[in-house]
Amino acid sequence: MGAGVPQAVTRTGSASKAWFRFAWRLARPGAPHRAQQVAAEERGGGGVGEGRGLASLTLWEPLPASAPRTRLRLRPGAPRRAWVLAGWKEALTLLSLPCQVCTRTMGAALGTGTRLALRPGRACGALPRWAPSASARGCHAKSGSARPVPLKKRGYDVTRNPHLNKGMAFTLEERLQLGIHGLIPPCFLSQDVQLLRIMRYYERQQSDLDKYIILMTLQDRNEKLFYRVLTSDVEKFMPIVYTPTVGLACQHYGLTFRRPRGLFITIHDKGHLATMLNSWPEDNIKAVVVTDGERILGLGDLGCYGMGIPVGKLALYTACGGVNPQQCLPVLLDVGTNNEELLRDPLYIGLKHQRVRGKAYDDLLDEFMQAVTDKFGINCLIQFEDFANANAFRLLNKYRNKYCMFNDDIQGTASVAVAGILAALRITKNKLSSHVFVFQGAGEGRSHLNHEKEMFAQDHPEVNSLEEVVRLVKPTAIIGVAAIAGAFTEQILRDMASFHERPIIFALSNPTSKAECTAEKCYRVTEGRGIFASGSPFKSVTLEDGKTFIPGQGNNAYVFPGVALGVIAGGIRHIPDEIFLLTAEQIAQEVSEQHLSQGRLYPPLSTIRDVSLRIAIKVRGVLPL
């Protein structure tokens, strides 16, 4: 006898819905696990020989003689096939059309065990004998129905596609349907377990750069798990995937480069940008972050190494704003570099010549903007990032009324700085007009002011240092944006504290190595009276009197994810400056009195997704389509 044979076949119900009951018994205890296909013919009308259809069942493991009957509810018709897993107490499904039957994720329909699902006209293939038992299902995905997603990719391509890959979280059915059974280990690990494994490995790393490499490698391998890691603790991981660690990663991009992300466009590609955009595998792009690498954070000209910035920005689009990562495109415009060290570096991956400027540069930008909107639509958001000041303002004014674009270094930084000032006013208890501000340069020596700053110019005697400016002007607030480390000396901080009871001190330069002063230095010198904010994160500070301060981080991540989400959701074509003022007001409103008492001028990063959502709602409600 075979491994299992039908002992009895009975029928109940109407002619349109018939019941077949099969009782299986084991011929030989311990028989080998092998497939046995048995055909059972319905005896319509209660008589023998009146066959109305065949039901073909495959048993992949012999059931013990004591096992309850396995029952399937079948409708007579064309031959059908079902795969039955050992260990099922009862299985029930209705076949209303000729179809194949395959297993799906455990669901409430059966209570326990793998559920049957209908796949009209599609074969599901054979199930392996190691189908998960009840004890193994603890690490499976949550119970409930899973909506099938049509995919063109199969097999090895799925495991190498970061958008599709789920690691060992693929269910048995998914592995079979996608042709990846055998390409990944047999164990089923939920995303929760995979998160735990990544965290254990992450915590073993000694340097932030090593941690950055781990996260970026994960993004290249398993995008779903990458964003699960980021959103599990935004406050912990943001300093790694973005400032300040991303600056270090850009400096060492030639060493840390693993797999290209984004689109690399060179000055020599003029005339072919539309073709290059067509090479990108995704057609439904809603957001583009572009840089030419000339002013990366406070690090200067890093050329092609600047690609880490658009990649990091768009990671925060998703982690902080919930934007679909497949709708995001990072772009690096490589027009050369004036960084002699990079030009001499054999590991440098960009064009090895001086920067191209003038008409050729402008023509490249014009073609790029037009190609993006032609390909992805007029309301595709384009964020300019880390362009040099000479080009940043000029390009913003040139494109702002023609395309859906903004410059985060200009508008985003201004918005987050204003948000911090508005929150600080709740501590100083006075109006904005009562304050005197000193801004410490833009990091570029010149004999004149930019056009945008001329309207704020005041006549003063010539001075030679920032300390002299502070003593002469006696500002209530000093804001550093020049990326000159240690520019706010102890003398400046003491003077600020002597002039005013609660001086406002913002060290906004990135990365941390370029900060004008540290949080500890500010609080210590001003005896805890300084209202401090920084561009890079600093740890909490406890003074000798036992009072603890949690410094606020004026990170643009409070601004651009929410603005982007609102613009994308609303299909908005142009972004006026007013929206960034509204964003600043919304961020300041998110700061509670308890936060202010701790020294925070910004809401905790752990709440940034909620903050971004509220900003997006305000943007969508204010901006015209």
Judge if 32 and 122 occupy the same domain: yes
In a domain, residue 188? The reply is no
Residue 429 forms part of a structural domain: yes
Q: Using 50, 70 and 90 to split pLDDT, how confident is the model at 35? A: very low
Residue 186 lies in a domain: no
Domain contains 187: no
> Has residue 457 been placed in a domain?
no
Whether the per-residue pLDDT at 311 is higher than 80: the answer is yes
Q: Does 420 share its domain with 367?
A: no
DSSP-assigned beta bridge partners for residue 266 = 334
- Secondary structure element (H or E) that encloses residue 264, with its range: strand 263-266
Residues 41 and 100 in one domain: yes
As a whole number of angstroms, the distance between CA 326 and CA 306 comes to 21
Q: What are the respective helix, strand and coil percentages of the chain, to the nearest 5?
A: 40, 15, 45
- Helix segments in 332-377, DSSP class H: 340-344, 359-376
Dihedral of CA atoms 392, 394, 398, 400 in degrees, nearest 10, equals 40
Dist CA 141 CA 475 (whole Å): 58
Give residue-wise pLDDT tens across range 389-422: 889 999 999 999 999 999 999 999 999 999 999 9
pLDDT of residue 624: 61
User: Are 168 and 243 within one domain?
Assistant: no
Q: Are residues 35 and 141 in the same domain?
A: yes
Tell me, what's the pLDDT at 136?
A: 37
Q: What is the pLDDT of residues 272-299, one digit of tens each?
A: 999 999 999 999 999 999 999 999 988 8
Q: What is the DSSP letter of 297?
A: T
List residues with catalytic annotation: 242, 313
Rounded distance, CA 512 to CA 244, Å?
Answer: 6
pLDDT at position 447: 58
DSSP state of 353: S
Q: What is the pTM of this model?
A: 0.75
Q: Are residues 217 and 172 in the same domain?
A: no
Stretch 344-372: mean pLDDT = 96
User: What pLDDT band is residue 148 in, cutting at 50, 70 and 90?
Assistant: low
List the single range of 88-97, 355-364, 476-485 with lowest mean pLDDT. 88-97
267 and 333 share one domain: yes
pLDDT of amino acid 260:
87
Residue 112 lies in a domain: yes
Same domain, 399 and 417: no
What pLDDT is stored for residue 440 in this prediction?
Answer: 87
CATH number at residue 571: 3.40.50.720
Q: b vs e for 24-55, b when ≥16 Cβ sit within 10 Å of the residue's Cβ?
A: bbbeeeeeeeeebeeebbbbeeeeeeeeebbb
- The overall average pLDDT reported for the chain is 79
Residues 399 and 430 in one domain: no
Regarding whether 564 and 429 lie in a shared domain, the answer is: yes
d(CA 388, CA 295): 5
Average pLDDT over residues 327-337: 98
Per-residue pLDDT tens over the stretch 192-233: 999 999 999 999 999 999 999 999 999 999 999 999 999 999
* % pLDDT > 70, the chain: 74
Residue 483 and residue 613 share a domain: yes
**Does residue 185 fall inside a structural domain?**
no
Least confident of 115-129, 513-527, 561-575: 115-129
Expressed as residue numbers, the domain containing 394 is: 193-403
532: in domain: yes
Residue 294: give its domain's CATH number. Answer: 3.40.50.10380
CB within 8 Å of 247: residues ≥ 6 apart: 296, 297, 298, 299, 510, 511, 513
Number of structural domains found in the chain: 3
- 394 and 531 in a single domain? The answer is no
